[in-house]
Structure 1
């Protein structure tokens, strides 16, 4: 059984260097040019205030914007439904496939033909502009 002294010595030295570098970096990171010992000032109006009375929960909240009327809501919904049905009509049910065998044949040959064109081994029968 042999012990490789070189590996043990160099790996241990590297470990000590990494530990030393980490300690130095942590020490540098701990130093700061700003004074962090002073407490952070709070805003004057922050937090709850004791007014000596109970809050009035019956006050309605302020709205962020003008609300839609019932007529505007109905018009927007009708417009959205019309757009949705038009979109559905475009995408629903394509034309029926006339020849399933032709599509299967295309699927088996399309990949190799495309690879030939990409690799520069083009076939004039496939691509008339090929030279």
Structure 2
């Protein structure tokens, strides 16, 4: 078994040269720009300003919106609970307790298996023969 060192070295070098050339081409393409008007001017009030004094951290920040009073928050909570109860009434006959869900699972599993296996029950499927 022979090792062709020249082939490995020159083909690897060619690969690195191709990668390097691609990087140079992309860099040159990224540097070219259609804007030849010079630098873009910044706004006058952009960025931090040096006022020559330390900031006063004791000034409370301005709030974005008026805070809710206790009565307003209770009214909003009551409104949300009413909407929640209205949604609960719409969902129909879904059992809510864990015991009811467990009983439903115990009944539903065998019924589904009977239908899948073809052992139909006339009580479950009236079209069963």
The alignment's TM-score, normalised by the length of structure 2, stands at 0.45
Question: Normalising to structure 1: TM-score of the pair?
Answer: 0.45
